[in-house]
Structure 1
Amino acid sequence: MGQPQINALLRKIEADCRNTSRYTGIEVFQAKVMQAIASVPREEFVPDHLKPYAYDNNPLPIGEGQTISQPYIVALMTDLLCPNKDQIILEAGTGSGYQAAVLSLLVKKVYSLEIVPSLAQKAKQLLWDLGYHNVEIRQGDASLGWQHHAPFDGIIVTAAAEQIPPALIEQLRPGGRLVIPVGYPHMTQELLLVEKDAAGGITQRNILPVAFVPFTGASNCAGNQE
């Protein structure tokens, strides 16, 4: 895809950001987040027959009943994490690998879990081939987190859980942020920002009504909107 399509997508994301600022409190996404969105070739993460639509500001199916998220939502969730180059991030739900690719340009390391074996393998190979070598993917139940690499500076969940998996709260570093959609399929869902303070206390804020596919895992959850 060419630069005009990428620029058009960035303008749509910027417009959505302004239009939803009354909910999110964010009028402009961080420049580095927008640069990461611009740098990741989204067409590589969608099926061949959908490549002409890769730079539409919409979710697209990727097989196995899953989707690649709307670019605006990827930008919003990334921005809410407040990523920096020293951070270790956990992604719960690899999906196509697109969100992990965006994060990989902004943080030190991304650990990503995907419950669907075929998606995990495909994303792992694709990210490696594209040069995103600071992403490590494992097939497994993302609701249980990845204890071996915890605690994490930030955690991003790419599917709607009925409740916040306790393991993810436990594996969040004090001072860290968890971004997660919570709610039931075909019902109102809310994107939440969960923060853990230095003493381990938890606060959460509703950010925006959203519509994600359901999360699959031991804690009720799974699937994935990414």
Structure 2
Amino acid sequence: MTFTRYAIYFVPPADAQWSRYAASWLGWDMEAGYELPHPAETGLDIAAITSVPRKYGLHATLKPPMRLAGGQSQAALEDACAALAAAQQPVVLEGLHLARLGRFLALRPSGGVTGLNALAAACVTDLDRFRAPQTEAELERRRAAGLSPEQEKNLSRWGYPYVLEQFRFHITLTGKLPKSQLPAVENALDAHLIPLLPAPFEIRDLALAGEAPDGRFHLIQRYPLSA
């Protein structure tokens, strides 16, 4: 398959009960490469609630989607991901919890995140030679959201505002929702997903994902963290 962009993600293990439910909630299995039926027991229009994040699949971004720089290849990126992962230790956190990020809902880590943030920073910096520069249109689209000086610095240097000190690990579960809708969606997730979440929560590999021409992301390869 030909990919237009690549990203480094945390992709939850496919065989975990919580990740199977959450992937079904979003409606796209990036590892298997097919659509999933949404849970039927909530009475909510989950297809509409998840329409924006669906194409990305169940994941947390470590290095944001990027086009390959000139002279680089997918094979070289795969080799670099394997080398990076081999030099990093697995990350163990207390758990996950449901959080509001503005008007969308996501899973956020509980407890200290120093090791997690260091892993994400390594993904951003060590693999940046593979990233093609942002176009002026892409830069302006990011700036339209209103960026702090630190976020503007990150955008100019790393192609994305919310990296390094601005990074906040999250597994997105919804698009932006009306405030009036948030409690009902939170209640559904509290009832059906939250009881399944692991404690502790472990990150034991990095995932290289690719964006297909239709905009959907596919898992290309997992790389064990093995330092």
* TM-score, reference length from structure 1: 0.27
Give the structure, 1 or 2, with the largest relative contact order (CA under 8 Å, sep 6 or more). Answer: 2
Larger radius of gyration: 2
